[in-house]
Structure 1
């Protein structure tokens, strides 16, 4: 009878001190497993992935814009010297020469700013946009290196070629990077919708009664299902935008541009048939 009495006295001491009983190692591991499962569940959530990609997109934009602006500022002095053509400093031709490079650079920055938005929603621009960008970059390169080519200075050509070529490459790469970052969000969302399995979370201090598992139909909603919801909600005169898609279907921000593009393509192909009938 001594052992039960000792155990009883130990429990009375814990109750008197007001401290909870120490958890066993198994209970601590179960709690850690539950926390890890919860963290893993939210790390794979499409909206969390989209938020991470948006942060990366902001960093990429800031770094690329800083490099492009610094590169264009470097070329400005070379272009001014090329346009001044030995004019007297502070004379009218010398001052007017400073306007040449900003004219080209502002056009280039306007195109890149527009592509920043179109690439965000994976809307591809036309040939004239790319032609204008290449013309602006080509003109900057020629004006930077013309004097070095004329003088036959190989080192001068290399020196004045590096910055315009870096700006040219960055201007092309930044558009593709934004497009691929948006595609990464879409792929992550579709992967989570199509392939994610319910996360098993060990219960800690909960009832051991098992709850019925949801069916696959209740757990998943495919791209076609969202598109069908948007199609049913659309009516004549409604402008299809990603924001409207999210409002009527409840889809994520990453998927809404693809749904808007798909629904717009359907409407473009069906409207002529309706008018003919």
Structure 2
């Protein structure tokens, strides 16, 4: 096989592979995988951040109550109350952002209020004590949760736009997506005619022999060998 034919074969294979790689369904599947990874990592960070603030919020609500007393036990309910509302909002935005449905202003207000409440209750004792290191320590987790809560919504929206952009690009491509497959079928018939003409009684039809006489690709040679072997058997 000379260099020009090898390049032509490689170009045909590359065109067929690219047609499938840029297909909107394939692109959407890859983006969905990325979306799941992004959701998992962001949710993990948010849950861990809220779990870190739980003890500080409980201490703020208990206000020095005796351990295992009723006020001390009730103080443990405060942080889950705020966190569950926040998680419910984020879970709903996970769906609305995917389908690019805008939520009302009260949704964002509720999200910011729960985040602000968590921050204030988590850092109140540190500000009262005037400890800069404690303020920084107890400010980082709530701020990370706040930033992640805002970023994850925007990321979901942009991932949805990426799927739509891939679909628009595929629609505006001059050659249809399935054209390489149709061209492959045409090449298959042509290669089969060449192999059929080169075959003679006593010749074993193998993919290697098909490649040698037709100069087709490795993947196509197996199909050609099976088709020609079936004809020879008949």
Q: Secondary structure at the match of 1:53?
A: helix
Name the CA distance, whole Å, in 1 between partners of 2:74 and 2:118.
Answer: 17
Aligned length: 186
Deviations along 1:170-197, one digit per CA (max 9) or x if unpaired, are 0011011101110111111112212444
Deviations 1:121-166 (CA, angstroms, capped at 9, x unpaired): 0001000000000000000000011111111111111110000000
CA distance, structure 1, for counterparts of residue 188 and residue 51 of structure 2: 64
Calculate the TM-score normalised by the size of structure 1. 0.63
CA shift for structure 1 position 34: 2.4
For 2:188 and 2:45, the matched residues in 1 are separated by 56
Q: Does 1:177 align with 2:192?
A: no
Match of 2:79 among 96, 101, 104: 101
Contact 1:27 1:204 in 2 (8 A): no
What secondary structure does 2:68 align onto? coil
Equivalent of 1:190 in 165, 168, 174: 168
CA contact (8 A) 1:112 1:171 kept: yes
List runs of 5+ in structure 2 lacking aligned partners.
Answer: 192-234
Q: Does 1:68 align with 2:46?
A: yes
State yes or no: 1:143 paired with 2:118.
no
Q: Aligned match of 1:33 in 8, 11, 18?
A: 11
Q: Establish whether residue 91 from structure 1 lines up as the match of residue 69 from structure 2.
A: yes
Return 5+ residue gaps in structure 1 as ranges: 1-22, 209-277
2:97: which partner in 1?
A: 119
The separation in 2 between residues aligned to 1:188 and 1:34, in whole angstroms, is 22
**Aligned-pair RMSD on alpha carbons?**
2.1
Deviation at 1:87, TM superposition (A): 1.3
**1:48 maps to what in 2?**
26
After superposition, the C-alpha distances for 1:233-265 in whole angstroms (9 at most, x for unaligned) are xxxxxxxxxxxxxxxxxxxxxxxxxxxxxxxxx
Higher helix share: 2
Q: TM-score, length-normalised on structure 2? A: 0.74
**CA distance, structure 1, for counterparts of residue 167 and residue 49 of structure 2:** 37
In the alignment, is the contact (CA less than 8 A) between 1:31 and 1:204 conserved in 2? no
Q: Structure 2 CA distance, aligned partners of 1:24 and 1:168?
A: 62
* 1:159 aligned residue (137, 143, 161): 137
Secondary structure in structure 2 of the residue aligned to 1:125: coil
